Amino acid sequence: MLYHLIRINYICGTLIDKFYIMNIHEYQGKEILASYGVRVQRGIVANNPVEAVAAAKQLTQETGTQWYVVKAQIHAGGRGKGGGVKLAKNLEQVTEISENIIGMMLKTPQTPPEGKQVHKVLIAEDVYYPGESETSEFYMSVLLNRAKGRNMIMYSTEGGMDIEEVAEKTPHLIFTEEIDPNIGLQGFQARKIAFNLGLSGTAFKEMVKFVEALYAAYIGSDSSMFEINPVLKTSDNKILAVDAKVNIDDNALFRQPKYAEMRDVREENQIEVEAKEAGLNYVDLDGTVGCMVNGAGLAMATMDLIKYAGYEPANFLDVGGTADAKRVETAFRIILKDPNVKAILINIFGGIVRCDRVAQGVVDAYKNMGDDIKVPIIVRLQGTNAEIAKELIDNSGMPILSAVQFQEAADQVKAALS
Ligand code: GDP
Ligand code: MN
């Protein structure tokens, strides 16, 4: 029961967040939005200061803007706070700011502590110009509510801020609108959203169009999240997306080749990229116990086991059905790239593959990389020929600990780490 609960926690939390999505940059998210007729803050992406100035000139021709916003393109939010979004009031400032931002290690509340290196900037038109009415910033996201099995639109008048903070301090200022999957977003729902945001006249009509196009973009691109923070009402009552955080469903990329090309592997965890190339299902996590398992379900249970023993898993890794020596070795090497790993737990069920073959694979891999492995290895093999496999490991002369029972494996993880 305990690990059933922990497992649900894992499935709903970390793994879903990391496993089934592809992140893209703001400029790419805005391209998708624009292709569905969502009004966006116009911008042109640039790789260096020279391109940035050319982009600014082109923007002035196309939109008439005199000021520009230089926006760091990294897969993390909170860029404004970290100094990754700056206003430029002329072309000299575009050069200067781009020089500073491109190449910098940008630190925001959503990046790793060392920050993320910026490779590109988006040069965007200034949309906060003064006019007949005030500008207002709203929050809006479309996302899948997994508990309800429905998409929903979440929105708030408190835009431009950290939405987690709004949710915590003033939850009554966040509204949600659930979408019935059989009939899709209804007109009255879009109008209700515009109304709840306090809009009237032109801005109201613009918002209705905005919400409808945003939802169409979300559905059409097979995304699991579109977060627009802020949605801006300009001083001349246009409604547009100033920012775009988009998660595309990884499993839908086969039918979205245009979007698959938007992947930027430089932004992704390098160990995960390498594992993917090796055909391994690997997700990097924060704990200290590396694990190698066959089958996603058993991998979940193994992570629960590690938690049950009082530790945190360093990764999720499903080696799949063919756990031969080569594959086991590749998996070892990948797990060991994570400097936080203090022990490795191998938990394989020998159903299709026989346990003694896996055991031989582990022993061979260990022989091959003996000096590279500096952490204790615990192997639990269960299923066909489990006992032979245990003997094979115990007699190998290698410092590998073997277990047959689940609990035994947990105890050995504890013993190895305490
Ligand atoms: P984030 O910090 O990563 O969420 O990046 P955003 O794209 O949301 O930009 C951060 C902030 O920059 C916004 O909340 C705005 O306050 C500001 N900003 C964005 N575009 C403009 C613009 O056109 N003009 C001005 N003056 N400020 C802008
Ligand atoms: Mn934002």
Q: Kindly report, residue by residue over 328-378, the tens digit of the pLDDT.
A: 889 988 999 999 999 999 998 888 778 888 888 888 888 888 778 889 999
The whole domain housing 76 covers 42-126
Per the annotation, binding residues for ATP are 71, 78-80, 127, 137
Same domain, 96 and 139: no
Residues 6 and 146 in one domain: yes
Global pTM reads 0.84
In this structure, the answer to whether residues 146 and 241 fall within a common structural domain is yes
Altogether, the residues listed in the chain come to a count of: 418
Q: 412 alpha carbon to ligand 2 midpoint, in Å?
A: 46
Q: What CA–CA distances, in Å, run from 277 to 234, 291, 321?
A: 45, 19, 17
Concatenate the DSSP letters of all residues of 83-104 into one string.
T-EEEESSHHHHHHHHHHHTT-
Spatial contact of 310 and 2, defined as CB atoms under 8 Å apart: no
Q: Is the peptide bond before 49 cis (omega within 30 degrees of 0)?
A: no
How far is the C-alpha of 418 from the C-alpha of 415, rounded, in Å? 5
Question: The domain spanning residue 234 has which CATH number?
Answer: 3.30.470.20
Contact 38, 66 (CB under 8 A): no
Any idea what the CATH number is for the domain that residue 74 is in?
3.30.1490.20
d(CA 120, CA 101): 9
Residues 316 and 413 in one domain: yes
Ligand 2 centroid–CA 212 distance in Å is 21
- pLDDT, tens digit, 9 for 90 and up, residues 147-191: 888 999 999 999 988 888 998 999 999 999 999 999 999 999 999
What torsion do the CA atoms of 79, 84, 89, 91 make, to the nearest 10 degrees?
-140
How distant is the alpha carbon of residue 361 from its chain centre? 33
Q: How many domains does the chain have?
A: 3
At 48, the pLDDT band (50, 70, 90 cuts) reads very high
Q: What's 321's domain CATH number?
A: 3.40.50.261
Kindly report the protein residue whose alpha carbon is nearest to atom 22 of ligand 1: 126
Q: Which are the contacts of 99, defined by CB distance < 8 A and separation ≥ 6?
A: 49
Closest CA to 229 of 79, 66, 87: 79
Residue 229: pLDDT band by 50, 70, 90 thresholds?
very high
Atom 25 of ligand 1, residue of closest alpha carbon: 128
Q: Are residues 102 and 175 in the same domain?
A: no
Domain boundary among 126, 151, 177: 126
Same-domain status, 405 and 297: yes
Q: Between 208 and 299, name the one with better pLDDT.
A: 208
Atom 26 in ligand 1: which residue has the minimum CA distance? 128
Beta-bridge partner residues of 156: 139, 174
156 and 284 part of one domain: no
Structure confidence at residue 3 (pLDDT): 38
* Closest-approaching ligand to the CA atom of 40: 1
Q: Which atom of ligand 1 is nearest to the CA of 82?
A: 2
Mutate to test the pocket of ligand 1, among 28, 44, 69 (most ligand atoms within 8 A of CB): 69
**Which residues have CB under 6 Å of ligand 1?**
69, 71, 77-80, 85, 87, 124, 126-128, 160, 229-230, 242-243
Considering just the CA atoms, what is the radius of gyration of the chain in Å? 25
Kindly report the protein residue whose alpha carbon is nearest to atom 11 of ligand 1: 80
Task: List binding-site positions for substrate.
Answer: 294, 351-353
Q: Minimal CA–CA distance to 14: which of 285, 276, 398?
A: 285
| Probe residue for ligand 1, chosen from 59, 97, 107, 242 as the CB with the greatest number of ligand atoms within 8 Å | 242
d(CA 210, CA 228): 11
Distance of CA 278 from the midpoint of ligand 2 (Å): 35
Same domain as 89, residue 109: yes
For residue 47, how far is its CA from the centre of ligand 1 (angstroms)?
20
Give CB contacts under 8 A, 24+ apart, made by 368-374.
368/325, 368/329, 369/329, 369/332, 369/333, 370/398, 372/333, 372/336, 373/332, 373/336
Q: Note the pLDDT tens digit of each residue in 247-272.
A: 999 889 999 999 999 999 999 888 98
Domain limit, last residue, from 96, 126, 156: 126
Indicate if 324 and 401 belong to the same structural domain: yes
90 and 51 in one domain? Answer: yes
Instruction: For residues 101-112, give the mean pLDDT.
Output: 94
Q: Would you give the distance in Å from CA 383 to the centre of its chain?
A: 35
Last residue of a domain, one of 94, 126, 158: 126
225/279 same-domain check = no
Same domain, 255 and 307: no
Whether the per-residue pLDDT at 7 is higher than 50: the answer is: no
